[in-house]
Amino acid sequence: MPLIHAREREVICRLLLDILRIIHEAYAPTGEPFGTRIETDFIGLCVAIGDIDGRPFNISKIAAYMHVPRTTVMRRLKRLERWGLIERRGKRYHANEKIFNSVLGERTYQRNRRTIAKAVKKLSDLDTLTGHATDGDAKIFPPAQSRPRLGRPVRQVTD
């Protein structure tokens, strides 16, 4: 049986990789290969989320959020600090505003926006071609014969 929504899933997979690659190319040192320490990028994203949300993360919160050991988080945070992307204030970590508000930061943001817009267009085009429509987060399936079955059928009990 073919994968349901294979083309749409491919677009989403490519989008995720493209966004991570754009971020990595912009902020990681030139010699740092993409993908070898991807968890460093994810931990950097956690720092950004906490900082932007006004509730900066500490090591324990990042470890819990990422489901990785605290020692791993500590090593990755030290790497991000060496790269100049984050700074520690007390026990909490913050994004380096000078880096992210720089010309490079703005270009990276705009590049990611364009990448996301292209993916949204592709998904919309695929929905049009396949006749699938979405309503917010709820999927509206085509006719009943094409709906995926979920779980086991319910047995009716008779008296």
Tell me, what's the pLDDT at 67? 96
CB atoms within 10 A of CB 17: 12
Domain ranges of the chain: 1-36+102-144, 37-96
Q: What is the pTM of this model?
A: 0.75
pLDDT tier, 37 (very low <50, low <70, confident <90, very high otherwise)? confident
Strand partners, 94: 87
The burial class, CB within 10 Å (0-12 / 13-18 / 19+), for 51 is: buried
**What are the strands, taking DSSP E only, across the chain?**
86-89, 92-95, 133-135, 138-140
Pick the CATH number of 37-96 from 3.20.20.70, 1.10.10.10, 1.10.340.30, 2.130.10.10: 1.10.10.10
CA pseudo-torsion sign 64, 67, 72, 76: negative
Question: 78 near 97, Cβ under 8 Å?
Answer: no
Q: pLDDT tens for residues 95-123?
A: 999 999 999 999 999 999 999 999 999 99
